[in-house]
């Protein structure tokens, strides 16, 4: 089966690019726990390694591991490795993660899947929550587009089919009992996936905390809950694992001051407005500005200006150049 990197140029997905820069901005604040350059970063680089390039250049992280499941194309991945400090590990993430160093290693792990939520994803989440050091961050991205109707399923049966498919993918016991088939429509699938991942994190930490000395329990603080679509609907959620005795350190990070910070089920929706370069340059000269004083621009819809003003600092600029 072809990898998604052979179908999608990950550098040219604007919402994904915005999300990547937002994550980078949040990771900077981890310095209250340790120097960010001391963290190890583990992700799925694909052939573009966009996140590795950004996090190395912007954060100075040099301990970087890219997990690549496409073992048949090792030579291509090695050729596209952007820096010597990026180590490639080939195999499924379930196989590779247990082989890595977790002893006292503060880690940023981005499980950036292109598939839907399944037991494989939850297994990776569980492994991290059992083994990660306090001050570590987990980020999970999954395809949250409602599954299409198979030819052998009637339209009226689609809601029940979606619910049954989720039960098969993650296990009956992982699906909240109040979920109904009708809940999967539109962004409902993303909301359901977030609940299941969040529950897996909290349940695993509860098990890890059994027998812990009072005041040293592991806690989880959600930081991200992104919804975006560069095509298919996607969910990215995650947050920080920390020790109960580090609550003052968490406060020093001031994550709540980030415009995209989301600590509950309410998502931060990344919507990319369609603007020309000239319109972007004009709006930039007037930003930042209070929400009730947003500039106007002839023929540009107000909602596009609002979207841009909301995330202009992270907005990607693509251009053509001879290199």
Q: Assess if residue 122 is contained within a domain.
A: yes
Residue-wise pLDDT tens digits, 172-205 = 999 999 999 999 999 999 999 999 999 999 999 9
Q: Assess if residue 162 is contained within a domain.
A: no
- What mean pLDDT is predicted for residues 53-57? 97
Q: Assess if residue 209 is contained within a domain.
A: yes
Distances (CA, A) of 54 to 19, 134, 240, 268: 12, 24, 20, 22
- pLDDT of amino acid 252: 97
CATH of the domain at 84: 3.40.50.150
Are residues 123 and 24 part of one domain? yes
In angstroms, how far is CA 28 from the centroid of its own chain?
Answer: 16
36: β partners: none
Are residues 191 and 110 part of one domain? yes
- pLDDT of amino acid 173: 96
CA separation for the pair 130, 205 (Å, rounded): 7
Are residues 296 and 193 part of one domain? no
Are residues 307 and 266 part of one domain? no
Closest CA to 294 of 280, 281, 308: 308
Q: Assess if residue 242 is contained within a domain.
A: yes
- What mean pLDDT is predicted for residues 256-260? 96
212 falls in which pLDDT band (50, 70, 90)? confident
Of residues 28 and 152, more confidently modeled: 28
- pLDDT of amino acid 8: 44
Are residues 199 and 94 part of one domain? yes
Q: Assess if residue 72 is contained within a domain.
A: yes
Are residues 282 and 253 part of one domain? no
Q: Assess if residue 322 is contained within a domain.
A: no
Q: Mean pLDDT over all residues of the chain?
A: 92
Are residues 307 and 191 part of one domain? no
Say if residue 323's pLDDT is above 80.
no
Are residues 124 and 216 part of one domain? yes
10 falls in which pLDDT band (50, 70, 90)? very low
111: β partners: 140
3-class DSSP state of 214: coil
Are residues 91 and 110 part of one domain? yes
- What mean pLDDT is predicted for residues 138-148? 96
- What mean pLDDT is predicted for residues 252-267? 97
Range of 60's domain? 4-146+186-270
Are residues 290 and 265 part of one domain? no
Are residues 296 and 195 part of one domain? no
Structure tokens at 17: 């690019």
Residue 301, H or E segment = none
Are residues 23 and 104 part of one domain? yes
CA separation for the pair 255, 91 (Å, rounded): 34
Give the global pTM: 0.91
Residue-wise pLDDT tens digits, 297-322 = 888 999 999 999 999 999 987 655 55
Q: Assess if residue 323 is contained within a domain.
A: no
What's the domain count of the chain?
2
């Amino acid at each position: 089966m072809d990898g998604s990197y052979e179908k999608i140029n990950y550098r040219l997905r604007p919402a994904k690019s915005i999300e990547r820069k937002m994550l980078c901005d949040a990771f900077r604040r981890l310095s209250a726990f340790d120097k960010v350059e001391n963290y190890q970063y583990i992700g799925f680089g694909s052939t573009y390694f966009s996140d590795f390039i950004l996090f190395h250049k912007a954060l100075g992280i040099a301990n970087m591991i890219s997990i690549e499941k496409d073992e048949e194309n090792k030579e291509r991945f090695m050729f596209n490795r952007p820096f010597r400090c990026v180590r490639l590990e080939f195999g499924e993430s379930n196989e590779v993660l247990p082989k890595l160093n977790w002893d006292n290693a503060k880690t940023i792990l981005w499980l950036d899947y292109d598939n839907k939520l399944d037991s494989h994803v939850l297994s990776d989440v569980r492994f991290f929550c059992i083994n990660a050091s306090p001050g570590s961050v987990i980020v999970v991205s999954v395809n949250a587009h409602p599954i299409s109707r198979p030819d052998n399923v009637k339209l009226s049966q689609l809601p029940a089919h979606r619910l049954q498919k989720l039960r098969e993918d993650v296990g009956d016991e992982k699906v909240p009992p109040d979920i109904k088939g009708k809940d999967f429509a539109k962004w409902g699938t993303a909301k359901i996936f977030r609940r299941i991942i969040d529950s897996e994190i909290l349940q695993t930490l509860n098990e890890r905390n059994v027998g812990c000395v009072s005041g040293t329990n592991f806690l989880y603080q959600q930081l991200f809950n992104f919804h975006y679509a560069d095509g298919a609907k996607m969910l990215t959620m995650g947050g920080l694992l920390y020790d109960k005795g580090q609550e003052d350190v968490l406060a020093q990070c001031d994550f709540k001051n980030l415009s995209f910070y989301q600590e509950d089920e309410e998502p931060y929706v990344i919507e990319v407005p369609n603007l020309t370069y000239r319109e972007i340059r004009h709006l930039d000269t007037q930003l930042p500005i209070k929400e009730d004083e947003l500039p106007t621009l002839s023929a540009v819809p107000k909602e596009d200006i609002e979207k841009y003003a909301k995330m202009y600092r992270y907005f990607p600029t693509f251009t053509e150049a001879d290199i």
